[in-house]
Structure 1
Amino acid sequence: MKKDPQYDLAIAKLAIKTHHFAFELGPDFFAQFDQSLIQDGHLHADVDLTKTELLLTLDFHITGTIRLICDRSLDEFDQPIDVQHQLLVRFGDREIELDDDVLQITPDTQVLPIAQHLFDYIGLAIPMKKLHPRFQNEPDENPEADAKLIFTTKASDDDDEESTDPRWDALRNLN
């Protein structure tokens, strides 16, 4: 990933209150990342950063469209995106990612880069099955495919007496 300081938040000089940041994410933003998932898009990201003495809370709201390729027809189409996500950043003795939504940074950290977080949140909003809008209202070819029961561990009441192993019956009687 190429580092673009445009998506860095200078947190050291911020007062203890809520701050608002706005970013326009276009083709230049997606070109920073070595990936083939998203090549183009036009999104607007609002980031509300609430700073306290012990914690930074970043609330992301990303809206717009990204350009995807349909899995069925290989046609390009615009996929609407509307993402709301929260990232917590706490202060500690070293920089570490504690969880997907929790980071720890040192108190002397001057800048918090958020470009990777913006990209990850957009990537999580992409549907698993990328279908052009003209295919989205079509019924599935095999609607029972999702409804099939493949495995069950409970035997029916009728088969319970016939299929019981006598060794298990002996063990049950030990109590």
Structure 2
Amino acid sequence: MNKLKEYLIQFVGLKVGKHQFDYQIDNSFFEHFEFDEYNASNIKVDVLLEKKTTMLELTIKHKGTVNVPCDLTSEDFDLPIKGKINLIVKFGDTFNDDNEELLILPHGEFEFNIAQYIYESVILSVPSKRVHPGVKDGTLDSKALELLNDLAPTEIKEEENKDTDPRWDDLKKLLTDK
């Protein structure tokens, strides 16, 4: 985590008010968390810190793309993502990060690292089912997609003139005679 020093926010020297921090995230950021699901990533993160006299309010927004394989065709594509989280930092006797929207730092702390919050925000903004946009609009030509279409179940149509047992016909009448 020593290589994530740029994500340390030292709030002691900041004046009361709003402060802006900008970060550019790529796959090297995710390597620190041993996460390798993305082929490539290009994400811009904007952090707005509002320092108040007794607490800090953070708004972390991100927008960009991650290159992932399609779950249906295994074709790689750039998936646009965006997200936002709000975090309140208060001060108390002991460190506590049990609540996802509230961080309690011990009195006397002068900095904290937001890398974990950025990581979680980005990971949670990627949908669990990733489908290539060409599959949705029908423009993607892929052997895997053709095979899926060939193996798709076909609709079975019942014959309307099919002979049925007359006992069942009498029971069906009971349902429609209400």
Scaled by the length of structure 1, the TM-score of the pair is 0.73
The structure 1 segments of at least 4 consecutive aligned residues displaced by more than 4 Å after TM superposition are none
For the pair 1:72 / 2:72, whether they are aligned, the reply is yes
Question: How many corresponding residue pairs?
Answer: 140
Q: Percent of counterpart pairs with the same letter?
A: 26
2:7 pairs with 1:7: yes
- Report 1:132-143 matches (<5 A): 132-137=132-137
In the alignment, what sits opposite 2:169?
A: none
1:88-99 matched pairs, under 5 angstroms: 88-99=88-99
Deviations, residues 54-99 of structure 1 (Å, cap 9, x unaligned): 2111001101111112111112111111112111111111111131
Measure, in 1, the Cα distance between the counterparts of 2:35 and 2:103: 24
Provide the C-alpha distance between the structure 2 equivalents of 1:93 and 1:136, rounded to a whole number of angstroms: 52
Cα 1:104/1:10, change in 2 over 3 Å: same
Q: CA RMSD in A?
A: 1.8
Q: Which amino acid aligns with 1:54?
A: T
Aligned 1:1-175 pairs, distance under 5 A: 3-137=3-137
Counterpart residue number, 2:168:
none
Could you say which structure has the larger radius of gyration?
2
C-alpha contact 1:12 1:108 (8 A) present in aligned 2 = no
Which residue type is aligned with residue 21 of structure 1? Answer: F
**In proportion to residue count, which structure has more helix?**
2
Q: Which runs of 5+ in 1 are unaligned?
A: 143-175
Q: Give structure 2 stretches of 5+ with no counterpart.
A: 139-151, 154-178
Task: For residues 28-49 of structure 1, give each alpha carbon's deviation from its aligned partner in whole angstroms, at most 9, with x where no partner exists.
Answer: 2122111233342101111000
Kept after mapping to 2: 8 A contact 1:95/1:105: yes
Q: TM-score, normalised by structure 2?
A: 0.72
Distance 1:67 1:2, change over 3 A: farther
CA distance in 2 between partners of 1:3 and 1:115 (Å): 11
